[in-house]
Structure 1
Amino acid sequence: MTAVRGELEMFAAEVFEPFARKDQRRWGQVYLRGLLTDGQRKSVEPMAARLGEDGNRQALANFITTSPWDAAHIRAQLAWRMEEAIGPDALIFDDTGFLKDGSASACVSRQYTGTAGKVTNCQVGVSLHLASETASTAVNWRLFLPQTWDPASPKADADKVARRATCGIPDDVGHVEKWQLALDMLDETRSWGLEVPLAIADAGYGDAAAFRHGLQERGLNYVVGISSTLCAQSADAVPVAEPYSGMGRHAGGEVSRQATLGEGTGHRGGTEGGQAGAVAGGFPARHRPLRREADVLPLRGPAHPACRTRGPPARRRTGTARVLAAGEWPADQSEPVQYWLSDLPSGMPLTTMVRLAKLRWRIEHDYREMKQALGLAHFEGRTWNGWHHHVTLVSVAHAFCTLQRLARAPKDAAPA
């Protein structure tokens, strides 16, 4: 235990080097020890009770809630340290819910979260993780601000907007979609000097064309989940020069149907387009007996979201990127149970693509450990800065646990 504490102190000294004051470094380390001690609750008061002579509740509360330190500086230091330790294959984007009983905490609203599997009263945090096959850790966070908290939104709630000042939400923070928060975190992480060429995310992000385009514009390949309702054209569909309503026969030849893609720029010849589920249903029959495997189908790319609604032809565009859609298709199912979209090089083995896609599940383990063992969802403060401070220090605690596992794992075996 003494040796581990010594390692923790060395790690904390490295990660907390950006703190401007000695007392911040001290209370940062104390808070870190509080998160790593045994005990069910990891909020300030129960941690202080377990920390003995260091258990100054007021000092810990001030440090986490009101002390003016920039969480981004600590996250950058953490990212540099963990990039070296993990050797990440990918950046993984995801989000998790923080269930709340009251309504006073920053950005709490009734909204959907996968944590509960339903719409409920919660905060939602978006996270960016460095990940390899042996380890992963969260190095960046954003707190999602619902439209009800944004005074510029037509859905603004007067009571929530009035609480912004009490919660310390900066005036320039408004509602931003989760996929855009993910891109913002990516830009910030790259500004720290981290360059990881692959992005992975679930369908909550993969279904957003703007997110995929944003990754491509930044030079990142991706493997993202997609829902069965996402629409695409097969690779042998030929885009026509002029917009087409999708109704009837086109004068220039056969135009592929768009199914629920709806009205879009026509595609002449080739196989039919439509929902990803419908496209996956067209996978060669000889592949259907595969067990826990994936089949792959080349696509020109998902249709632009403007194709989903009727409007002037000038607003309609079509996807042109050549991508691959993969579907996991167990033998006992009538259709694939999961879909991914990727723009990885065409020569990459399918098994590699699927392995990378499933790397995202490491993040479920990250969330579980941070919530169950390290108190990620136990913060009882109500402020914007307090939330960001707490999740950052929980990430530091989780990173320390990850380093301990890596150091103690057999050289020829991956850690659990």
Structure 2
Amino acid sequence: MRFATKPRLAWEMIAAALDAGVEAPWVTGDEAYGQDPQLRAALEARGTGYVLAVACSTRVRINHGRTSLRADTVVGRLPVTAWQRQSAGIGAKGPRYYDWAWIRIGTGNRHHLLVRRNRTTGELAFYLCWSPTEVPLAELVRVAGARWSVEECFQTAKGQVGLDHYQVRHWTSWHRHITLAMLALAFLTALAADAAPEPPADTYHFARSRDPITLTVPEIRHLLVTVFRPPAVATARLLHWSNWRRHHQATARRSHYRRRTRWIDHETTLEY
């Protein structure tokens, strides 16, 4: 086996998935992948769009490729009107709103520098983007926010199915553990998805609903453990506690969404 960098390993996996017929219009990743020009070039050659994080020191070419500047220098020259508030997706406490700006870079119309600004701390994050066709800012924001679901997936796998709970020294034993853990998580996720109703169009109305939250992966795992290892208490009592927990979680969600809504309305009032 020869040494290969993370971007090289990533491209080998992406290429294998594309060759197998997996439909993946976008690729997103952190700075370890965004800083690699060979990975970006390979994705463009396959017609796969990307939104890849890069460092603030990354140099980009603006003015139709005539000027080369650091990404953070370009942001410093943007007018106030360049920033737009958009949600990067639904988080645990409601929509994840940030300020976003995008700048065309290079000589074409499909390369962009995407910048995210935290509305509270002012912290900036930078992304290099390319798409086979012209897309709106909202689509790039959506792809950038998709990384959150990947991180959440790893966290859930570690907490619910013991993805990182192993002490092995050999490839075969490690591969067996990881495969079984991923299979267990896929099984629980499929059960949770099957039990979940169709999401309504009005997300805030859904968040304020008095109904308990839908069955989650942790809750399903807890119930399955109870079924296979019956405790001393009655089943009806366990189901009662499960229903109580989900009602309590629904109450917490309503509070988070209500606070987030007031904060958004307050920010909008100040802007106008």
Superposed pair shares fold, TM > 0.5: yes
Q: Secondary structure at the match of 1:339?
A: strand
Match of 1:212 in 2: 40
Q: Secondary structure at the match of 2:161?
A: coil
Identity of aligned residues (%): 25
Tell me if the contact between 2:117 and 2:124 (Cα under 8 Å) persists in the aligned partners: yes
Question: Given the alignment of the two structures, is residue 274 of structure 1 paired with residue 69 of structure 2, yes or no?
Answer: yes
Greater RCO structure (CA 8 Å; 6+ sep):
1
Q: Secondary structure at the match of 2:169?
A: coil
2:13, 2:137 → 1: CA distance? Answer: 29
2:131, 2:187 → 1: CA distance? Answer: 32
Structure 1: stretches of 5+ with no match in the other structure? 1-172, 239-255, 257-272, 302-319
Tell me if the contact between 1:323 and 1:342 (Cα under 8 Å) persists in the aligned partners: yes
Structure 2: stretches of 5+ with no match in the other structure? 86-96, 204-213, 217-272
1:396, 1:289 → 2: CA distance? Answer: 40
1:289, 1:323 → 2: CA distance? Answer: 19
Q: Which deviations, in whole Å up to 9, do the C-alpha atoms of 1:89-136 show, x marking residues without a partner?
A: xxxxxxxxxxxxxxxxxxxxxxxxxxxxxxxxxxxxxxxxxxxxxxxx
Q: TM-score, normalised by structure 1?
A: 0.42
1:274, 1:397 → 2: CA distance? Answer: 48
1:289, 1:197 → 2: CA distance? Answer: 24
Question: Given the alignment of the two structures, is residue 223 of structure 1 paired with residue 51 of structure 2, yes or no?
Answer: yes
Q: Which deviations, in whole Å up to 9, do the C-alpha atoms of 1:58-88 show, x marking residues without a partner?
A: xxxxxxxxxxxxxxxxxxxxxxxxxxxxxxx
Q: Which deviations, in whole Å up to 9, do the C-alpha atoms of 1:113-165 show, x marking residues without a partner?
A: xxxxxxxxxxxxxxxxxxxxxxxxxxxxxxxxxxxxxxxxxxxxxxxxxxxxx
Tell me if the contact between 2:102 and 2:137 (Cα under 8 Å) persists in the aligned partners: yes
Match of 1:382 in 2: 169
Larger of the two Rg values belongs to structure: 1
Q: Which range is displaced more, 325-334 or 376-385?
A: 325-334
User: Which of residues 283, 287, 292 in structure 1 aligns to 2:78?
Assistant: 283
Choose between structure 1 and 2: higher helix proportion. 2
1:360-399 matches, cutoff 5 A: 360-399=147-186
2:84, 2:152 → 1: CA distance? Answer: 30
Give the aligned CA root-mean-square deviation in angstroms.
2.5
Question: Given the alignment of the two structures, is residue 406 of structure 1 paired with residue 193 of structure 2, yes or no?
Answer: yes
1:279-358 matches, cutoff 5 A: 279-287=74-82, 292-300=98-106, 322-332=110-120, 337-344=124-131, 347-358=134-145
Counterpart of 1:329 in structure 2: which amino acid?
Answer: R
Q: CA deviation at 1:293?
A: 2.0
Q: CA deviation at 1:322?
A: 4.5
Q: TM-score, normalised by structure 2?
A: 0.63
CA distance change for structure 1 residues 287 and 192 in 2, over 3 Å: closer, same or farther?
closer
Q: CA deviation at 1:389?
A: 2.6
CA distance change for structure 1 residues 337 and 193 in 2, over 3 Å: closer, same or farther?
same
Q: Secondary structure at the match of 1:380?
A: coil
Aligned residues: 192
CA distance change for structure 1 residues 333 and 366 in 2, over 3 Å: closer, same or farther?
closer
CA distance change for structure 1 residues 322 and 348 in 2, over 3 Å: closer, same or farther?
closer
Q: Secondary structure at the match of 1:406?
A: helix
